[in-house]
Chain A
Amino acid sequence: MIELGPELARADAMLDMKRYDQASGLLSRLVAAQPESARAWCLLARAHLGGGRHQQAVDAANRAVSLDPSDEWPHRLASNALLHTDNYPEALRAGMEARRLAPGHWQAHICVAQAALGARRLDIATAAATQARSLAPNEPDVHFLSGKVSLAAGDLDAARAHQERALALDPAHSGAMNELGRIRLRRHDTRGAVRHFIRAARVSPTESVYSRNIDVVILRTVSRMIYIFTLAALLLIWIPVVAHLGRFPFAIGFTVLGAIAVGAFAWMVLRLPPEARMLVRRTLRGRRAAAALAVAVGGVAVAFVAVALVPASELPQILPIAVIATIGARIGAFAILRGAARR
């Protein structure tokens, strides 16, 4: 007969050390030997959640619920696990059940707010976050989630205030730093956003989402530069038709355009923190970014060469082709960069 107490304590210690796989192994053996222990099933659900095995976490949590339906913890675990499987309605239902069983627990209200946010029920999310703040005004996670709800509702100032409160309570709250970065992005402050993402990555380097956010910002910046470049090119290719300029000035114009684009991009990159500059270098060396730049520059170059080399009498026929080439280059480059950002 396995002694449950010490084994559960071992499992709890493993979970605290984030040894989710070892904890899963131990707890699986425990629940096989003593399947009536709701606590063991709850810990197993936690282990599966930590290990990214969300469906198994749901199953374990549901088993715990069946053994002890009056305990709020298995309902909360089930809600968290269902969120990760994108089953928001069920996650909300489980969260509400946890809240019904333990209305005084701020964690249950947070659970409801998270699930409601996923299900796009902002009214429920806002009410739950408010209730959680009244129960636990000094919990950083409460303010963190309130900030996310405010951001989803479009209230950027309230979102920022909540995240700054979370950071005041826990200066190492990397989630709050990340959210501040997202708020900056909404305000089109790329540099500020990158600084917050870097802070978050510095505090929790093992969380890949922060460096991923920086990659996305870099790709968006590259995409914006390509947009401006191709737009300027689109305007420039009309000049020979409208102003009857010679080829030489036209070639100079193209060169100046390219230099301005590169210069502007370099200036933006130099203003970034050193870590972000290294990431920019890495991103530009990547296949997708390089391909997007090649498509954009190549398409524009083809359009310019066509306009520059063709006799003036044939310009009106060539111009639409040049415009299509330029627009096509922009669309192609964007498609490649979007694929890179989704990866």
Chain B
Amino acid sequence: MCARMAPAASPAPYCLTLSLLHLAPSLIHPTPPDGRMEPDPTVLASLRKAVEAMPDDVPLRVHLATLLLRAGQRDEAIRQVGAVLQRDPGNAEALALLQEPPGPPAAATEPGGTGPAASQEASSPPAAAGQPPATPGRPPAAPPGNRKAGSPGREEPAAPEYDWSQAESELRDVLPPMFVGSEGTNSEAAADAADAYDAEPSTLKLADVAGMAQVKDRLEAAFLAPMRNPELRKLYGKNLRGGLLLYGPPGCGKTFIARAVAGELGARFMAVSFADIIDMFVGQSERNIHELFEIARRNAPCVLFLDEVDAIGQKRSQLRNTPMRSAVNQLLLELDDVGGGNEGVFLLAATNHPWDVDSALRRPGRFDRTLLVLPPDNAAREGVFRYHLRERPVAGINLGRLAKLTDGYSGADIAHICETASERALMDSIHRGEARMIGQQDLEAAISEVKPSLGAWFDTARNVALFANEGGAYDDLAAYLKKRRLI
């Protein structure tokens, strides 16, 4: 069960909670005389923590909502159901929970409710999510439209019509509308929009980034220290308007660093990738970009990370597609809006091709600060090797030597090296008929096989540093290329 979960900060509480629920139902309070099964408050608290740690786990949320309903905490239950429907608009169990009539369940038919009924209740398994708990003598509630409640032949009074508008209005109070003045908006469309851009907490810190001391120092000076010290910032007149553009060769950790920055700031992290961007351009691109920024503002403090920003902010002169040009214009408007006083939204962007980014995006107040993220240094390469080998059977690995041999390789190249070495060891084990450890020679053989992938990027970068460095925008890059004698 734990293996099915997405990697999360703390899977252990979830596993523990579920095992408690399924293996030890006696932890749930014994059935009170009125037949209602009230969940243990500690169980609810554990489930809430688990949901906080894994906000996208839909079955977990449904389970929590079910228990909250049983506990009579209807408002919170509706909130959880709303969150489920945001992520999975057609979730049948969540919709069934909404159909639960308000008020406590009916009393048991047998007076007292003790004895056989109680023992029957205690030993029955927990109700499946979405189904109301069975009470002694009463069959499970029928799905909507099925009026065959109760034993055949017995006349049952007709169940009252479910008040949908009341349910919707209850939900509306809990979830703010996506667009101001459009409360009649289709909730499914609103859920779809929110679905695309989830603001999640980041648990990474800069200390988790191995090596790259220069990059971290620069981040600290240009961004983090002023953020954390507003008084000093005001004293020295340091302006924090605009965002930070991380640029550099592919596979060198720009996205990872962006997450670490979010973690350092204690902000939520909202990443927009190329796949999200491309979907923006099929349809109403300006509206989608505006919505993206609105979600970031609602989730403040939030780091809004635009990955592959050269796609969304490409030079308008290079675009023949009008919607995409409009998208760039909208992005410029939003950036000015954020810089103009919307506190709490920190803009980060990353690109492998800063020279393709529209120059208007690089103007003061927008992405006017840049940070070159170079291929990992020695310490960083050791860290990358350590990370990719940590769950593999290795022995006698000299990380220092491996780091030395992989000067000029990206993090992605190093991951490829580890993968290649593992394959080597795997095939050898298959041939030998017995498993063996991955050794130093496997890794060194893989290094000679895997060539660094950054050559093409540096060829282009050289031309940019030589011919397109007006204003000194690429002085960092030019200095690095001179140092490596590439210029």
Asked whether A and B interact, the reply is yes
A interface residues with partner B (beta carbon < 8 Å): 6, 9-10, 12-14, 16-17, 19, 22, 172, 198, 201-202, 205-208, 210-211, 275, 278-279, 282, 285
Contact at A205–B274, with CB atoms within 8 Å?
no
Q: How far is the CA of A270 from the CA of B12 in the complex (A)?
A: 69
Contact at B485–A205, with CB atoms within 8 Å?
no
Contact at B311–A201, with CB atoms within 8 Å?
no
Instruction: Return chain A residues, CB-CB under 8 Å to B274.
Output: 19, 22
Q: List 24 A-B contacts (CB under 8 A).
A: A10-B278, A10-B279, A12-B321, A13-B323, A13-B324, A16-B319, A16-B321, A17-B314, A172-B317, A198-B467, A202-B470, A205-B355, A205-B460, A205-B463, A205-B464, A206-B460, A206-B464, A210-B463, A211-B466, A211-B467, A275-B466, A278-B466, A279-B466, A282-B487
Instruction: Return chain A residues, CB-CB under 8 Å to B353.
Output: 206
Residues of B347-361 at the interface with A, using a CB-CB cut-off of 8 Å, are 353, 355-356
Which of A13, A208, A211 is B278 in contact with, Cβ under 8 Å?
Answer: A13
Q: How far is the CB of B133 from chain A (nearest CB, A)?
A: 42
Instruction: Name the residue of chain A whose CB is nearest to the CB of B323.
Output: A13
Instruction: Return chain A residues, CB-CB under 8 Å to B320.
Output: 16
Interface size on B, residues (CB 8 A): 27
Instruction: Return chain B residues, CB-CB under 8 Å to A16.
Output: 319-321, 324
Q: Which of B311, B314, B356, B464 has the most CB of A within 10 A?
A: B311
Instruction: Return chain A residues, CB-CB under 8 Å to B281.
Output: 9-10, 13
Q: How far is the CA of A207 from the CA of B356 in the complex (A)?
A: 12
Instruction: Return chain A residues, CB-CB under 8 Å to B314.
Output: 17
Instruction: Return chain A residues, CB-CB under 8 Å to B321.
Output: 12-13, 16
List the 9 closest A-B pairs by CB distance, nearest first.
A201-B467, A205-B463, A13-B281, A205-B464, A202-B467, A205-B468, A16-B321, A9-B282, A275-B466
Instruction: Return chain B residues, CB-CB under 8 Å to A205.
Output: 355, 460, 463-464, 466-468
Q: A10-B279, A16-B320 are in contact. Are A208 and B460 (CB under 8 A)?
A: yes
Q: How far is the CB of B223 from chain A (nearest CB, A)?
A: 28
Q: How far is the CB of B330 from chain A (nearest CB, A)?
A: 15
Instruction: Return chain A residues, CB-CB under 8 Å to B317.
Output: 172
Instruction: Return chain A residues, CB-CB under 8 Å to B319.
Output: 16
Contact at A211–B463, with CB atoms within 8 Å?
yes
Q: How far is the CB of A199 from chain B (nearest CB, A)?
A: 9
Q: How far is the CA of A207 from the CA of B355 in the complex (A)?
A: 12
Instruction: Return chain A residues, CB-CB under 8 Å to B460.
Output: 205-206, 208
Which of B278, B459, B463, B468 is A14 in contact with, Cβ under 8 Å?
Answer: B278
Instruction: Return chain A residues, CB-CB under 8 Å to B462.
Output: 211
Instruction: Name the residue of chain A whose CB is nearest to the CB of B466.
Output: A275
How many cross-chain pairs have Cβ atoms below 8 Å apart between A and B? Answer: 67
Question: What is the interface of chain B mostly: helix, strand, loop, or mixed?
Answer: helix
Contact at A10–B282, with CB atoms within 8 Å?
yes
Instruction: Return chain B residues, CB-CB under 8 Å to A285.
Output: 485
Instruction: Return chain B residues, CB-CB under 8 Å to A22.
Output: 274, 278
Residues of B424-441 at the interface with A, using a CB-CB cut-off of 8 Å, are none
Instruction: Return chain B residues, CB-CB under 8 Å to A17.
Output: 278, 311, 314, 324
Q: How far is the CB of A118 from chain B (nearest CB, A)?
A: 26
Instruction: Return chain B residues, CB-CB under 8 Å to A201.
Output: 463, 466-468
Residues of B456-475 at the interface with A, using a CB-CB cut-off of 8 Å, are 459-460, 462-464, 466-468, 470
Q: Which of B279, B324, B463 has the most CB of A within 10 A?
A: B463
Instruction: Return chain A residues, CB-CB under 8 Å to B459.
Output: 208
Instruction: Return chain A residues, CB-CB under 8 Å to B311.
Output: 17, 19
Q: How far is the CA of A139 from the CA of B323 in the complex (A)?
A: 23
Q: How far is the CA of A287 from the CA of B466 in the complex (A)?
A: 21
Which of B282, B355, B485 is A13 in contact with, Cβ under 8 Å?
Answer: B282
Contact at A208–B487, with CB atoms within 8 Å?
no
Q: How far is the CA of A22 from the CA of B278 in the complex (A)?
A: 11
Q: A16-B319, A279-B466 are in contact. List 8 more A-B contacts (CB 8 A).
A: A17-B311, A19-B274, A19-B278, A205-B460, A205-B467, A206-B353, A275-B466, A285-B485
Contact at A206–B463, with CB atoms within 8 Å?
yes
Instruction: Name the residue of chain B whose CB is nearest to the CB of A207.
Output: B463
Instruction: Return chain B residues, CB-CB under 8 Å to A172.
Output: 317
Instruction: Return chain B residues, CB-CB under 8 Å to A13.
Output: 278, 281-282, 321, 323-324
Instruction: Name the residue of chain B whose CB is nearest to the CB of A211.
Output: B463
Instruction: Return chain A residues, CB-CB under 8 Å to B463.
Output: 201, 205-208, 210-211
Contact at A6–B467, with CB atoms within 8 Å?
no
Q: How far is the CA of A13 from the CA of B468 in the complex (A)?
A: 27
Instruction: Name the residue of chain A whose CB is nearest to the CB of B282.
Output: A9
Q: How far is the CA of A12 from the CA of B281 in the complex (A)?
A: 10
Instruction: Name the residue of chain A whose CB is nearest to the CB of B462.
Output: A211
Q: How far is the CA of A62 from the CA of B278 in the complex (A)?
A: 28
Instruction: Return chain A residues, CB-CB under 8 Å to B323.
Output: 13
Q: How far is the CA of A205 from the CA of B356 in the complex (A)?
A: 10
Instruction: Return chain B residues, CB-CB under 8 Å to A278.
Output: 466, 487
Q: Which of B311, B321, B466 has the most CB of A within 10 A?
A: B466
Q: How far is the CB of A5 from chain B (nearest CB, A)?
A: 9
Q: How far is the CA of A211 from the CA of B353 in the complex (A)?
A: 18
A-contact 0/1 string along B268-311, CB 8 Å cutoff: 00000010001101100000000000000000000000000001
Q: How far is the CA of A6 from the CA of B320 in the complex (A)?
A: 18
Q: How far is the CB of A8 from chain B (nearest CB, A)?
A: 9
Q: How far is the CA of A202 from the CA of B314 in the complex (A)?
A: 17
Q: How far is the CA of A198 from the CA of B460 in the complex (A)?
A: 14
Contact at B278–A202, with CB atoms within 8 Å?
no
Instruction: Name the residue of chain A whose CB is nearest to the CB of B353.
Output: A206
Q: How far is the CB of A104 from chain B (nearest CB, A)?
A: 21
Instruction: Return chain B residues, CB-CB under 8 Å to A275.
Output: 466-467
Q: How far is the CB of B288 from chain A (nearest CB, A)?
A: 13
Q: How far is the CB of B152 from chain A (nearest CB, A)?
A: 44
Instruction: Name the residue of chain A whose CB is nearest to the CB of B281.
Output: A13
Instruction: Return chain A residues, CB-CB under 8 Å to B466.
Output: 201, 205, 211, 275, 278-279
Q: How far is the CA of A278 from the CA of B482 in the complex (A)?
A: 10
Q: How far is the CB of B167 from chain A (nearest CB, A)?
A: 32
Instruction: Name the residue of chain A whose CB is nearest to the CB of B319.
Output: A16
Instruction: Name the residue of chain B whose CB is nearest to the CB of A11.
Output: B278
Instruction: Return chain B residues, CB-CB under 8 Å to A211.
Output: 462-463, 466-467
Q: How far is the CB of A173 from chain B (nearest CB, A)?
A: 11
Instruction: Name the residue of chain B whose CB is nearest to the CB of A200.
Output: B467
Instruction: Name the residue of chain B whose CB is nearest to the CB of A208.
Output: B459
Instruction: Name the residue of chain A whose CB is nearest to the CB of B470.
Output: A202
Instruction: Return chain B residues, CB-CB under 8 Å to A9.
Output: 281-282
Q: How far is the CA of A202 from the CA of B468 in the complex (A)?
A: 5
Q: How far is the CB of B309 from chain A (nearest CB, A)?
A: 12
Q: How far is the CB of A3 from chain B (nearest CB, A)?
A: 11
Q: How far is the CA of A24 from the CA of B317 in the complex (A)?
A: 24
